[in-house]
Chains A and B, each alone.
Chain A
Amino acid sequence: MKTRHSPAAVVLMLSLALSAAGQEYEFDLDAFSRKPFVLDGYLEARPSFFLFNPDSPFSLLAFYDRDSRKSMGEAAAALLANLTYRRGIFEALLEPYLDGAHSPLGSAAGAKLFQAYAALKPSSSLSLYAGKKALRWGKGYAWSPVAFVERPKNPNEPDLAREGYWMLTADYTKSFSGALKTLSITPVVVPVTGSMNGTYGRSEGWNFAGKIYLLLLDTDIDLVFAAGKSRGPRLGFDLSRNILSQWEVHGEFAFFWDLERRVVGADGATAVERRDVASFLLGMRYLSRTETTTILEYHHHGQGFTRPEMDAFAAFVDTGYERYLASGDDSQLLQAADLESYGGFTPMTDYVFLRIIQKDPFGILYWTPAVTVLCNLSDGSASWAPELAYTGMTNWEWRLKASVPTGRAGGEFREKRIRFRLELRARFFF
């Protein structure tokens, strides 16, 4: 085994007595030498308890042909692994994700490859990638309208890892002195075939996207575009800047041409409509002297549904359910279930996201209480999610999180399938 550190560095395996505390600390640099193969990731257990809303259209879609339930416990587990190989300028990454859940409704398990790519990194300025890669564009925390080559983000859990797309991509970066400090160019090619990237768009063919990043006048700026056979063209920009050292502001704007949307029409029939829409986001992050972080974002979702459109969908489900009860014909319910956009994370047009995180409250390390509020401005309904995280055990992360909807009856969050959720998430990192 080749020693990677010089003899002097090995001698610097510090075994240092702290006279005041009488404690001894070792710092063995060889234990942190760079290795060609690295395996890391996490194993997660996620027991949870739900109270259902039996009158929700989404409950009708989920439970119309089985016993309706008022409450349920669920045991879920997941594994995310990263296997990295690095040698010289070559790098390869394999990131599988396995998950499973068991509840009185049954058991389910799944496996996905979040990322799987090979890369060449000939210099600190240039990287070339081929394979399945998760890109993360945009400055928004809960939403990112300019994330043109990504799967949708869950605003309730924006930090979760997500599956990427198969692509060819590269990063070229150049630094400068002066007002423009950094310029990065990221071209992306996304092929869509019958067996590859099927969720990117319905039509098969080549798709192209790109991002130009600038650090200009201490402001992060991204200019982005995407076009091709599978989706209509789209163009956007984002920016982020500290207006005070503890106060960051950010924004995103995206314009979509020929965007496809499946809706329930006024006549009660489903239809596909195409239109040009704009989406944008305005946000800020503020850190107080007491380590309280506040994240506030407003999102206008151009392709979102209006209140009358959501009401039309609820009526469509109701009539479908009545037809099922009367005749056993569930075709309309299946048709409604196929309209996935209505049941998406935030399917309507205008939302506000607020998250307040208190690090080390009262000077007690590793305990982090937080509360997240997601509010639909169209109907005033909201989801409140208080949580408490503990990271005091090395390589363990514990989090207890509840979620409660508020607002008037008929509001989006009051009409969700779950009206109370309590989840304990225990993660072990390796």
Chain B
Amino acid sequence: MRAFLGTVFLAAAAVWGPAAAPEIDGNAALAKMDRNLNPESYESYRKLVNIEPSGRTKEFVLYTVKKGKDRVAALFLSPASEKGRSTLRLEDNMWLYVPSVAKPIRITSLQSVVGGVFNNADILRLDYAVEYAAERTEELEGDIVLHVKARTSAVAYDRLTIRMDKKKFLPLRIDCLASSGLLIKTLHFKEVKDFGGGVVRPSIIETESPLYRGYKSVMILAGIKAREFKDEVFTLTFMPQLETLRR
């Protein structure tokens, strides 16, 4: 009888008692942030700007296509010295195609294709939720702070600390850490824009790294559009033909 009354009391307390602060599901927040950043399958244009300590800049323009969780390809449109280079990622496999060499070679996510703070993992990024799992979450000054860990050792950064806008589920800042805890780089997300088709997201990502003191890289996004592609677009044979996808 006492046990029955205890159960009734707990049930009543659960229904009528004061509401506890809802716990944030880190993985759900990560997945929501992914969908806010871009559709699952899309095309986009990006400009990368490397800024040297002297203020001198070097710019790269890429056309990127992504399909589903694990297929992404990027084509360099500019400058002329890089034009026609393309990179492909199929799950954890990555390749680089250089027109003069004319055959794809396997590369790794840490490799920097253009030099500077951005590497392949930044250029051929899959959804964060595909590569990382939430370890813990916290709130800081009204924002969500997600601590996530790479799901496999093939991911470029072992851990990320993601500070996210709690209402918009958009990233504000991401610290990329090595397994030793060493800070590799910090990404600052700025200038939220409406790209159309329901995509409202930061249009500028500033990146700095203690490994490249004084240097800064900026990624400017444009033309993000949901688009479906055939699976064969994400194959080695198609790497020299990525240009034909552009409209």
A: which residues have CB within 8 A of B? 4-6, 8-9, 12, 14, 16, 18, 20-21, 23, 25, 27, 29, 32, 34, 40, 42, 82, 86, 91, 121, 123-125, 127, 134, 136-139, 141, 158-161, 171, 173-175, 181-182, 184, 213, 215, 218, 220, 240-242, 244-246, 248, 250, 285, 287, 289, 291, 293, 359-360, 363, 365-366, 391-392, 394-397, 427, 429-430
B21 within 8 A of A: no
Contact segment of B6-14, B29-37, B233-241: B233-241
Given the interface contacts A220-B236, A363-B215, does A25 sit within 8 Å of B106 by beta carbon? no
Q: Are B103 and A4 in contact (CB under 8 A)?
A: no
Q: In the complex the two chains form, what is the Cα distance from A161 to B84 in whole Å?
A: 14
Pick the residue among A25, A34, A181 that contacts B90 (CB under 8 A): A181
B108 within 8 A of A: yes
Pick the residue among A5, A32, A121 that contacts B77 (CB under 8 A): A32
Say how far B121's CB is from chain A's closest CB, in angstroms: 10
Q: In the complex the two chains form, what is the Cα distance from A23 to B110 in whole Å?
A: 29
Q: In the complex the two chains form, what is the Cα distance from A273 to B92 in whole Å?
A: 48
Pick the residue among A4, A16, A82, A174 that contacts B191 (CB under 8 A): A16
Extra inter-chain contacts (11) besides given A23-B51, A121-B244, A289-B178, CB under 8 Å: A9-B222, A32-B61, A34-B243, A40-B84, A125-B232, A136-B101, A173-B232, A287-B111, A391-B81, A395-B81, A429-B80
Q: Are B234 and A175 in contact (CB under 8 A)?
A: yes
Q: Tell me which residues across on chain A come within 8 A of B229, comparing CB atoms.
A: 124
B: which residues have CB within 8 A of A? 45, 47, 49-52, 56, 58-59, 61, 63, 77-81, 83-84, 90-93, 98-103, 105-112, 115-116, 153-154, 178, 190-191, 193, 195-196, 203-204, 206, 211-213, 215-216, 218, 220, 222-223, 229-238, 241, 243-244, 246-247
Given the interface contacts A173-B235, A245-B109, does A365 sit within 8 Å of B115 by beta carbon? yes
Q: Tell me which residues across on chain B come within 8 A of A392, comparing CB atoms.
A: 52, 56, 58
Say how far B165's CB is from chain A's closest CB, in angstroms: 18
- The residue of chain B having its C-beta at the shortest distance from the C-beta of A295 within the complex is B105
Say how far B173's CB is from chain A's closest CB, in angstroms: 13
- The residue of chain B having its C-beta at the shortest distance from the C-beta of A248 within the complex is B106
Q: Are B81 and A29 in contact (CB under 8 A)?
A: no
Q: In the complex the two chains form, what is the Cα distance from A136 to B98 in whole Å?
A: 12
Q: Tell me which residues across on chain B come within 8 A of A121, comparing CB atoms.
A: 241, 244
Q: In the complex the two chains form, what is the Cα distance from A139 to B104 in whole Å?
A: 9
Say how far A64's CB is from chain B's closest CB, in angstroms: 37
Q: Could you list 24 examples of A-B contacts with CB < 8 Å?
A: A9-B222, A12-B193, A16-B191, A25-B47, A34-B246, A86-B244, A121-B241, A124-B232, A127-B237, A136-B101, A159-B98, A174-B232, A175-B232, A182-B236, A242-B93, A246-B110, A248-B106, A248-B108, A293-B111, A363-B215, A391-B81, A392-B56, A392-B58, A394-B81
Q: In the complex the two chains form, what is the Cα distance from A289 to B111 in whole Å?
A: 9
Q: Are A365 and B110 in contact (CB under 8 A)?
A: no
Q: Are B247 and A25 in contact (CB under 8 A)?
A: no
- The residue of chain A having its C-beta at the shortest distance from the C-beta of B81 within the complex is A429
Q: Tell me which residues across on chain B come within 8 A of A244, comparing CB atoms.
A: 153
- The residue of chain A having its C-beta at the shortest distance from the C-beta of B102 within the complex is A136
Say how far B184's CB is from chain A's closest CB, in angstroms: 10
Q: Tell me which residues across on chain A come within 8 A of B106, comparing CB atoms.
A: 220, 240-242, 248, 250, 285
Given the interface contacts A16-B220, A173-B232, does A363 sit within 8 Å of B213 by beta carbon? yes
Q: In the complex the two chains form, what is the Cα distance from A242 to B93 in whole Å?
A: 8
Q: Are B235 and A184 in contact (CB under 8 A)?
A: yes
Instruction: Identify the 7 closest CB pairs spanning chains A and B, nearest first.
Output: A175-B231, A136-B103, A429-B81, A429-B80, A245-B154, A136-B102, A124-B232
Q: Are A9 and B103 in contact (CB under 8 A)?
A: no
Q: Are A40 and B83 in contact (CB under 8 A)?
A: yes
Q: Tell me which residues across on chain B come within 8 A of A91, comparing CB atoms.
A: 244
Q: Tell me which residues across on chain A come within 8 A of B196, comparing CB atoms.
A: 6, 8-9
Q: Tell me which residues across on chain B come within 8 A of A16, comparing CB atoms.
A: 191, 203-204, 220
Q: In the complex the two chains form, what is the Cα distance from A238 to B196 in whole Å?
A: 46
Q: Are B81 and A291 in contact (CB under 8 A)?
A: no
Given the interface contacts A245-B108, A291-B112, does A124 sit within 8 Å of B238 by beta carbon? yes
Q: In the complex the two chains form, what is the Cα distance from A198 to B45 in whole Å?
A: 45
Given the interface contacts A25-B220, A184-B235, A363-B211, does A391 sit within 8 Å of B115 by beta carbon? yes
Q: Are A137 and B59 in contact (CB under 8 A)?
A: no
Given the interface contacts A16-B203, A289-B110, A359-B112, does A171 sit within 8 Å of B222 by beta carbon? no
Q: Are A32 and B45 in contact (CB under 8 A)?
A: yes
Q: Tell me which residues across on chain A come within 8 A of B204, comparing CB atoms.
A: 16, 18, 25
Q: Are A287 and B110 in contact (CB under 8 A)?
A: yes
Given the interface contacts A159-B101, A365-B215, does A125 sit within 8 Å of B230 by beta carbon? yes
